[in-house]
């Protein structure tokens, strides 16, 4: 996968989101395990309700902004933030700018 514009990413399960990130970033199984095992002190369910596109926690929820294309290359942008609208707005802005 090389296109960071992922339809309905926010509706996918954590596993589906992590699978997409793994495929997009060509993560090794060890790197994927790190993302799966991060315990930032809050449950994934709580983090998922706090931010858009949660994939884990890092003392604050760890989410991914989608649709970024910079100098012709697609990126998924990790963001650690407690405000849900920031990731959603960044993803929407990136999608519009494409």
pLDDT in tens, 53-80: 998 886 788 899 999 999 999 999 999 9
pLDDT of residue 63: 93
The SS3 assignment for 51 reads coil
How many H helices and E strands in the chain? Answer: 4, 3
As a whole number of angstroms, the distance between CA 24 and CA 67 comes to: 12
Question: pLDDT class for 16, splitting at 50, 70, 90?
Answer: very high
- 23-46 pLDDT tens trace: 999 999 999 998 888 777 788 888
- List the structure tokens of 53: 């596109």
Looking at the chain, how many residues does it have? 98
pTM: 0.68
Rounded to a whole number, what is the distance in angstroms from the first to the last CA of the chain?
Answer: 17
26 with 32: CB under 8 angstroms? no
């Amino acid at each position: 996968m090389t296109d960071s514009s992922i339809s309905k990413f926010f509706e996918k399960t954590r596993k589906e989101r992590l699978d997409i990130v793994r495929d997009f970033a060509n993560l090794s199984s060890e790197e994927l395990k790190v993302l799966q095992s991060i315990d930032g002190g809050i449950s994934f369910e709580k983090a998922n309700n706090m931010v858009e596109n949660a994939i884990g926690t890092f003392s604050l929820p760890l989410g991914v902004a989608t649709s970024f294309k910079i100098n012709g290359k697609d990126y998924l942008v990790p963001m650690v933030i407690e405000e849900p609208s920031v990731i959603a707005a960044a993803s929407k802005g990136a999608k519009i700018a494409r």
